[in-house]
Chain A
C-alpha cells in the first residue's frame, strides 16, 4: 500500500534507497501519470533539476548521518496557491504568477528546513472556487481510484498525488472543504486545522475568513507529523476518553446518500469504547448557503482586479464570482449571523460529546461530465452534495479531519469527518487514528511505489 514517511526514513537509514533514487522514481512516475489516457494532470509544475538538487543535498546529509528530521529527503507536494521559491504561483489561473516567487511561504520553508524535498506545485480548481478537480487551463486532475471520476477539489492535485503514492504528504487549503473533499474522494487523510493555527504567510488568500492551510497525507500518523511541522509545535496524539462520545446530528446525516451514510455508520460501530450521542444543531442546514455566500463575496472581493480587467477565467469561475459581486450587503451580514448561531450550537453540542462525526461528503467521487472539461462545471446540486458537511468547519473555525472509512460497491472510497472544539486538532486526529485502525485500506487503481 502507500508508503509512509516512516517507510522512507527507514529505507534511507538502512541504505535500501537514497533520496536521489526516490526523486528519480518520483519524476518518472509524474511523467508516466501524464502519459496515461486520460492524463492524471496532478501537477501544474515540476522543476526536475530543482527536485534532483534538493534530493542530492538530502542524500549527502543521510550519508553523513546528519538527517534533519524524519522528513529529510522525502518528497512533499504543494498546492499551487503557496509560494515556493523558483516557481510561479498561478492559483490555477492562466494569468497569475507571471514571475517566479522569490521566497517560500512560511510553512513551505518549515518543510524545506526539515529536509523535505519540495517536489512540485499541484493542480487545483481555478482560484479554488469549486469542489471538483476541473481546471480548463492546466487540464483536469483525475482520481487514482477511477480516472473517469472527480478528484474533488479544490486541492485536487495534492489529494491525487498523495493517493497515487507520489508523496506521503501534500499541502492544501480549505475554504469550504477544499482539503477534506478531495482527500475523501481520493481515499486519503486530511486536516482542516483550527482557524489561524497554521500560518498563511506566502499563501494567496482568496477567502480571508474561511480559508485554512493544512496537510493531506496517506496516513493519520503522517498527518500528525505534518501538523507538528507546520505549526512548529510538538504534537502527540492524546489518549481518547472512555467512553468516547461521538456526536451525531441525525438530521444532518440525511444529506448523505444512503450507501455513504451506511458505510460511515458501520465504521463508527467498529470503534471500540465509543458510543453515539444524539446532538441537535438547529441551523446546520444553513451552513451551506451561509458558507457559500461568504465564500463567493470574499472571493469576488479578493479577485476583483481579475474580474475588472476581464481576465480569461473559466466561465464557471467567472459566473461564481459575478454572483458573489451581486450579493446584497445585508445578505452578507445575515450569513455572518448564521456563523454566530452555528458557533453557539456547536459549543452547546460539545458539552455532551467529544467530537462530532459526519460523512465527509454526501456522495462518492462522481464521474466528470465531458462538456465540463472545457468550461468548468456549473452543477449546484452536485457541488452541494460534496460540501454540505464541510462548510460548518470553515464558518466556525473548529478543526475537522477526514479519514477513509470504507468503500462503496464499486470500490470508491468514503471519508469520515471528525469535528472537534477549537484548538483540539489532536483530539480529531486521535479519533481519526482509531478509525484508521479498524477499517480496511484498499490501494487505488493507479499508484506508484517510490521505494521499489
Chain B
C-alpha cells in the first residue's frame, strides 16, 4: 500500500512518470501498485480459468 502523496509529491511523481527517459520508473510503480496484489494467485490450482473480458448477460435496447 502506497502512503498518501502530498500535493507537492504528487506533482513531482506525476512529472517523473511522464518523462520518456523514466519509463522504467513508471513500470516499477505500476508493478508495486497494480501488479503485485495479483501476483500470488495459483491459477493452475484453481482449474486454470480462462479470462472473461466482458461480463456475461443480454444487452438492453
Contacts and interface: CB of A to CB of B under 8 A. Distances in A.
Contacts of B3: 380-381
A343 B52 contact: yes
Chain A interface residue bracket vs B: 35 or more
A450 B27 CA distance: 52
Contact of A319 (B13, B37, B38): B13
A381 B14 CA distance: 18
Contacts of B2: 380
Contacts of B21: none
Given A316-B10, A333-B51, A422 B34 contact: no
B60 A319 contact: no
Interface string B19-61: 0000100110110011101100101001001111111111111
A58 interface: no
Given A209-B55, A343-B56, A319 B41 contact: no
Contact of A379 (B5, B14, B34): B5
Nearest to A382: B4
Given A195-B57, A199-B61, A374-B7, A318 B41 contact: no
B56 to A, nearest CB: 7
A144 B60 CA distance: 34
Nearest to B51: A336
A288 B43 CA distance: 17
A442 to B, nearest CB: 30
Contacts of A296: 34
Given A198-B60, A326-B26, A328-B35, A341 B46 contact: yes
Contacts of B57: 194-197, 397, 422-423
Contacts of B37: 286, 288-289
Candidate in A286, A324, A325, A378 with the most chain B CB atoms within 10 angstroms = A378
B50 A380 contact: no
Given A283-B41, A289-B34, A336-B53, A326 B29 contact: yes
B7 A371 contact: yes
Contacts of B52: 336-337, 339-340, 343
A16 interface: no
Given A231-B60, A323-B29, A376 B10 contact: yes
Interface of A: 194-199, 208-209, 231-232, 283, 286, 288-290, 292-293, 296, 310, 315-316, 318-319, 322-328, 331, 333-341, 343-344, 369, 371-372, 374-382, 384, 394-398, 422-423
Given A199-B60, A340-B50, A380-B2, 7 more contacts: A198-B60, A232-B61, A318-B14, A318-B18, A319-B13, A336-B52, A339-B53
Interface of B: 1-8, 10-11, 13-14, 17-18, 23, 26-27, 29-30, 33-35, 37-38, 41, 43, 46, 49-61
